[in-house]
Chain A
Amino acid sequence: MLKIEGLTKHFGGLAAVSDLDVSIGPGETVGLIGPNGAGKTTVFNLVTGFLRPTKGRVVFEGKDITTKKPHYLAGKGIVRTFQATNIFPDFTVLKNIVFAHYLRPRISFWETVCHTQSSRRKEAEILQRSHKILELVGLEPVAGTTAGTLAHGYKRLLGIAIALAAEPKLLLLDEPFSGMNAEEVGTTMQLIDRLEQRGLTILLIEHNMRAAMNLCQRIVVLNFGKKIAEGSPEDIRENKEVIQAYLGAGEVIA
């Protein structure tokens, strides 16, 4: 489904990502892990078009998408979440989701400005779908709350919900569990599990090792922009190089 070939990005003299090859099949959940500064988020930015690679190609469903803009890629079904700015703080939770339905269904300029019958019908449809998404992620009780005032865990969930509203085929989650407490991590893991069961393809950046190991069928480990290992969670857990680079020598994970 997604194929990354020889992807390289230099920031000045620094190679943030060098010669990375990853491929993801439909319905797969792949984890991208690595220490801070390993270039994980840079890979996300390159795949989703927020950055242009120095070298290499990104192919999605057989088409080269290397130089495409983020909004175009969202239309093709590649949607990401962000680590930091991941919600519209001044909108209510519901409005956040309504906003994210920008492309599907598309409402044209004149339709919406003239408030035509067809635009009203589409708006109603969007509202209905938005409520469904809020139910799915468990944010329905806070639908009317201003998003900026939500607790951190809820904000993170809303970030995922916004991405879901754009109806992705490939969902890229940038550290969905960061800053969550144990209970929230549990709920979010269940949510991602459910998305997997629906057949969504997911690429996941994660620091929380247990969550990554549990969720992903395959894990890619980055260090200093290079892929140092790839394989099933079990393989990764025992890979010496990974333990050295990422987990620190001599440490054992639960």
Chain B
Amino acid sequence: MNKRILIWILSYGILTVFPFLIPLFITGPYVTHILILTVMNIILASSLRLINLSGQLSLAHGGMMTIGAYTSTLLVVKLGLSSWVALLLAGLLAAVIAGLVGFPFVRLKGIYFAIVTIFLTAMVTLMAQQWRSLTSGSYGIYNIPRPDPIVIPGILNITFTSSVNCYYLVLVIMLVSLIMLYAIEHSRIGLTFRGIQQSDSLAESVGVNTAGLKVLAFSIGCFFAGITGGFYSQYIMAIAPDTFGFLFTVYILIYMTVGGSGKFIGPILGAFILTILPEVMRPLKQFQPFFFAGVLMLVIFLMPEGIVGLPGRLKTIAGRLFKEQQERA
């Protein structure tokens, strides 16, 4: 038992420490940028999975990121707030908006919920384009300051002028997010979400406020989208209305589905592989939507549980082959 715990701690420790060491070996602004995107996509796909856990397919992540990005930007640029407070408020505002629109939204089930969330993303983009006095319209906002330095006099002085430090920052955000998402999923709330996914009328009949909990799942998921959007605008130092559009949102969904939404590690794997892979095939970048569509279709037809379902599937196939061989012998 003790040995198992030790192995568990070691493996997770290595998994946690490893991403922090990458910039020591591979450097360059391009690689760092890809790493940051990967980590962001992991947060996004994992938080989308929490919404999915309660049986809802949300395509509001792009809209929520836009809300988060503009909120944090405007708070910093117009009100001069600390970037950290702005980042937190960005997440909270996304969660509150998700909570408000959630109540009418969750009355719709399945694909109908997905459709209204697409509209939400489209509406947020439109608003950012049209509300010129606030958002400066389609031009977007430039020269957004990087996150404020963390200073503890005499001990610590971390500035975020370098991309590598931004990478460390988003990595920390990711770790905290994943720990929170994991804690929620493995709590009774997570159990309730999964029950609602299987049969919401049965859950309702034993006393679960299914509408309220669906809104809660939606709201928590959107919180992380808001934070990620806020971070991205601070890192890129610019934001435009269509930065996180419909296609971007669908990509998050693809990361989750390809990785496998059944397990916690699924969206992490999916986001990792599908962010790195297109970069390796850089010359074909313009065909990325086609590539993703192809991958998605292959995964849906060949391994409906996603990449995380692959070992189990191979096992059954291997078992079947083995059995056939035995029968022949």
A interface, CB within 8 angstroms of B: 48, 50, 69-71, 74-75, 79-82, 85-91, 95, 98-100, 102-103, 107, 109, 112-115, 119, 123, 162-163, 165-166
Contact = CB atoms under 8 A, between A and B. Distances in A.
Interface stretch (B39-47, B156-164, B188-196): B188-196
A65 to B, nearest CB: 14
Given A115-B183, A162-B206, 16 more contacts: A69-B204, A71-B209, A74-B206, A79-B205, A80-B205, A87-B202, A91-B198, A95-B191, A99-B191, A99-B206, A102-B203, A102-B207, A102-B208, A103-B207, A109-B189, A119-B187
Interface residues of B, number: 23
Contact of B183 (A89, A95, A113): A113
Given A91-B195, A95-B191, A113-B189, A74 B205 contact: yes
A74 B187 CA distance: 22
Contact of A163 (B189, B191, B206): B206
23 contacts: A50-B201, A69-B204, A70-B201, A74-B204, A74-B206, A75-B207, A79-B207, A86-B202, A88-B194, A98-B191, A100-B206, A102-B188, A102-B203, A102-B207, A107-B188, A109-B189, A113-B187, A114-B183, A115-B183, A115-B187, A119-B187, A163-B205, A163-B206
Question: Chain B: interface secondary structure?
Answer: helix
Contacts, number: 85
B54 interface: no
A112 B189 contact: yes
Contacts of A103: 206-207
B39 to A, nearest CB: 23
Interface string B145-182: 00000000000000000000000000000000000100
A107 B202 CA distance: 19
A88 B206 contact: no
Nearest to A168: B206
A137 to B, nearest CB: 15
